[in-house]
């Protein structure tokens, strides 16, 4: 382990245009961002700036996993319940519940200038609303160059 190199930081903003509820892959954008920084070893943090969308690391190989996740969350936070918060439509409070059950921030170690995701892991924006939205994700990388 070498710790005498100074730490560097890099940030960026990622815009993800959704078509409504579902999981949207953003792994390639995260990898591309890391490559532009020349940081070899560090920690990548992704932060979703919304309360009705979230981030998720899950399987990226079988699309049925994404369908099953969506189905499971539909059961966990159904729309056909009378919520107190209903000003923004019937899908808004279920979207907040879904976001609360997942996460708006994830951190991934960077080794050899790549996120250390497992073979079948991918990073996804999880849109919880029915309508299309433009979601913003902040990327922050701190680490050391070679």
3-state helix, strand, coil in the chain (%, to 5): 25, 40, 35
Q: What pLDDT does 146 receive?
A: 79
Q: Which H or E run contains 65?
A: helix 63-76
What's the whole-number mean pLDDT along residues 70-92? 94
Average pLDDT of the chain? 95
3-state secondary structure of 93: helix
Q: Which residues pair with 139 in a beta bridge?
A: 12, 46
Give the homologous superfamily in CATH for domain 18-144: YjbQ-like (2.60.120.460)
In this predicted structure, the answer to whether residue 18 has a pLDDT above a threshold of 70 is yes
In this predicted structure, the answer to whether residue 3 has a pLDDT above a threshold of 80 is no
In this predicted structure, the answer to whether residue 82 has a pLDDT above a threshold of 80 is yes
pTM: 0.94
Give dist(CA 146, CA 50) in Å, integer.
35
Q: What pLDDT does 1 receive?
A: 54
Q: Which H or E run contains 11?
A: strand 8-17
3-state secondary structure of 92: helix
Give dist(CA 79, CA 90) in Å, integer.
6
End-to-end alpha carbon distance in the chain: 12
Name the residue ranges covered by the structural domains of the chain.
18-144
What's the whole-number mean pLDDT along residues 74-100? 94
What's the whole-number mean pLDDT along residues 127-144? 98
């Amino acid at each position: 382990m070498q710790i005498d190199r100074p730490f560097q930081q890099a940030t960026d903003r990622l815009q993800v245009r959704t078509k409504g509820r579902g999981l949207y892959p953003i792994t390639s954008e995260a990898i591309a961002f890391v490559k532009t920084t020349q940081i070899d070893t560090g920690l990548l943090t992704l932060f979703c700036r919304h309360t009705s969308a979230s981030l998720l690391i899950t399987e990226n190989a079988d699309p049925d996993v994404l369908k099953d996740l969506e189905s499971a969350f539909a059961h966990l936070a159904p729309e056909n319940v009378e919520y107190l918060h209903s000003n923004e439509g019937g899908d808004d409070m279920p979207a907040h519940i879904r976001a609360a059950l997942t996460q708006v921030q994830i951190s991934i170690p960077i080794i050899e200038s790549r996120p250390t995701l497992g073979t079948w892991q991918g990073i996804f924006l999880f849109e919880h609303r029915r309508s299309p939205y433009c979601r913003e994700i902040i990327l922050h990388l701190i680490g050391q160059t070679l």
